[in-house]
Amino acid sequence: MKNEIFISDGALATASGVALIDNGKIVEFFPRAANGKDLGLSGDEIVLTASDEAELAEALREFSAKIKILNAKMDASQSEIEKLSEKSASRNERFEVAMQKLERLLKK
């Protein structure tokens, strides 16, 4: 990891946040306030030192890992929902067939 300093893009000043820039490209944007808490980003320029960058990178890795776990749980939940939906559709189909048979018997 290079010892570089990243500065927020002045064009994003009205966006109220911090841009993480790598090789002139915006990699991530962090809003000025999160969960109703001021992040203390009142200046026009935000400078990240190498240690700040390392801390931020670690926080992003942890966040990414948590999001991956959450996505896996959501996928499992969606799979379970689809299985239950298929069972429900099968039950509805059997019920409809039984009702049709009952109707035919009653018409006789």
* pLDDT one-digit tens code per residue, 64-88: 889 899 999 999 999 999 999 999 9
Contact 6, 47 (CB under 8 A): yes
pLDDT of residue 3: 42
The list of the chain residues with pLDDT below 70 reads 1-20, 23-25, 29-47
pLDDT of residue 96: 94
Per-residue CA distances from 68 to 16, 71, 73, 100 (Å): 28, 5, 9, 48
